[in-house]
Structure 1
Amino acid sequence: MIAKRLVLTLLTGLLLAGTVTTTAHAEDGYRFWGYYQYTGGQWAFAQKGSEAVVPADGSVEGWRFAVGGAKPRTPRAAGDFNAICGATPAETGKKRVALVIDSGTPADSASGATPPPASGTCVVTDLKATGAKILAAVKPVRIEKGLTCGIDGYPATGCGDQVKNISVPATDEPVKLEIGAPVGAAPAPSASPSPSADAQPAKGHKVGWAGGVLILLIAVGGYLTSRRRTKFLKQ
């Protein structure tokens, strides 16, 4: 009995030590773009493909490229709707959806290339727009066999490739999104330029000058007529 307790104690100690010191676990997985929705303050792996999801107004969509296994690798930035769409006015008959695109880390790349920075974009679109349409409105998408294989040219090749003996970090370091200009939003109304004070009188100046010339001609004509009469009376 004592020996059994000793073995259990040693095993428990080893398991606890492994839990504390191990930051990654090895398994077989895939290198792919994952599709997520941000709800309740956290990312959740989409239960349907982006073609079948119709996000509601105020939703947050997310895409993350990573090497993943049993545990999904979610976008490394929070899906803050106000930070992404807060400055974009709502429009009647349309919806605003915040889109987060996280291309992952160099370790997620097959070649170790540096991926584009994570971005956030507010998409203003029709109420029936799907997740796929929202993504395509922001970046070009490479589709192969019905799968989203590349976003904005990253990666250039490959699609859901299997990776043997992957090492997945227990946690990912959070990143700050680069917030881009909204897509599909109506242009802000520009104030029509009012005529300047200097431009208005130009026509009036011309009319005033012509009137002055006319008055001068009448005055000269009157003066000449008066002289003729005086000269005629003297004769």
Structure 2
Amino acid sequence: MTPGPAASRPARRTLRAGFALLLGLLAAVLLAAPAQAAGYRYWSFWEREGSTWSYATQGPAQLRPDDGSVQGFRFAVSAEADDSAAPRSKAAFAKICEDTDERAGRKRIALVLDFGTAADAPGGERPPKPRTACASVEEDASTADALAAVAPPLRYDSSAMLCAIDGYPAAGCGEQVPGAGKPSAEASSDASPGTEEADSGSAPGGGGPSAGLLVGGGAVAVLGVAAFWQSRRRRG
């Protein structure tokens, strides 16, 4: 006996509900997938207390550090200030300025210059090795003054953003880098191609199922519903 139209309606309603569930699941997965945020390539400015680096809350032209201060600059690609990579050197003021004598009417500022990694470098450029320097400057000098004394040439853009230290990089200033991940503060500037770990196929911080797996599971569920109602129709 062939089921009539009334008997097939529940099956059609169930199939429609199943497909709606699949579409909803797909939309949820696509919305939940984290977008690959664009990053920016620039020099970040840091202050150090003890062995801890803190992102500076003033620009180098505004900040007038005390004698004995340690200031740092790091070139890297990052999306947000709290994602920025700090300078990698832990050298103390006493070590950086050990060969610079105290002078009346002047102050000594220890500077850590980290030119970043090859991965952060603009195309065609290779970052210089990180270095430290001790600037002996006037008592009212800013960090920018200290930097100009030990790492020329400096380059600024029209909005006074620091673009280059010691001539690096040769061009560009805070340009956007699409799909940039978080910088690695521990990455070596001497790292060569082929030394990075192979892609495991997992998303960073994995542990959750992939979008393909979730959508595939939804499709299997819908097919299961269809098969169930088809078998009931045959038995009827």
Question: 1:30 aligned to 2:40?
Answer: yes
- What is the CA–CA distance in structure 2 between the aligned matches of 1:123 and 1:131, rounded to whole Å? 9
Partner in structure 2 of residue 135 of structure 1: 147
- What is the CA–CA distance in structure 2 between the aligned matches of 1:133 and 1:121, rounded to whole Å? 13
Q: Deviations over 1:25-46 (max 9, x none)?
A: 9532100011111113111111
Query: Match for 1:160 among 132, 150, 174?
Result: 174
Query: Residues 153, 38 of structure 1: CA spacing in aligned structure 2 closer, same or farther, 3 A cutoff?
Result: same
Partner in structure 1 of residue 24 of structure 2: none
Q: CA RMSD in A?
A: 2.0
- Any conservation in 1 of the 2:78–2:183 contact (CA below 8 Å)? no
- Deviation for aligned residue 1:170: 4.7
If asked which structure has higher relative contact order (CA below 8 Å, sep 6+), I would say: 2
Partner in structure 2 of residue 94 of structure 1: 106
Partner in structure 2 of residue 50 of structure 1: 60
Partner in structure 2 of residue 15 of structure 1: none
- What is the CA–CA distance in structure 2 between the aligned matches of 1:101 and 1:171, rounded to whole Å? 14
- What is the CA–CA distance in structure 2 between the aligned matches of 1:112 and 1:94, rounded to whole Å? 40
Partner in structure 2 of residue 80 of structure 1: 92
Higher deviation after alignment, 83-92 or 142-151: 83-92
Higher strand share: 1
- What is the CA–CA distance in structure 2 between the aligned matches of 1:174 and 1:156, rounded to whole Å? 21
Aligned 1:1-235 pairs, distance under 5 A: 26-70=36-80, 71-111=83-123, 113-139=125-151, 140-145=153-158, 146-173=160-187
Unaligned runs of 5+ in 1: 1-24, 176-235
- What is the CA–CA distance in structure 1 between the aligned matches of 2:112 and 2:146, rounded to whole Å? 11
- Deviation for aligned residue 1:110: 1.9
- Deviation for aligned residue 1:154: 0.8
Partner in structure 2 of residue 191 of structure 1: none
Percent sequence identity over matched residues?
40
Query: 3-state SS of the aligned residue for 1:83?
Result: helix
Pick the structure with greater CA Rg. Answer: 1
Query: 3-state SS of the aligned residue for 2:99?
Result: coil
Query: Residues 169, 63 of structure 1: CA spacing in aligned structure 2 closer, same or farther, 3 A cutoff?
Result: closer
Query: 3-state SS of the aligned residue for 1:168?
Result: coil
- What is the CA–CA distance in structure 2 between the aligned matches of 1:41 and 1:67, rounded to whole Å? 23
- What is the CA–CA distance in structure 2 between the aligned matches of 1:123 and 1:47, rounded to whole Å? 21
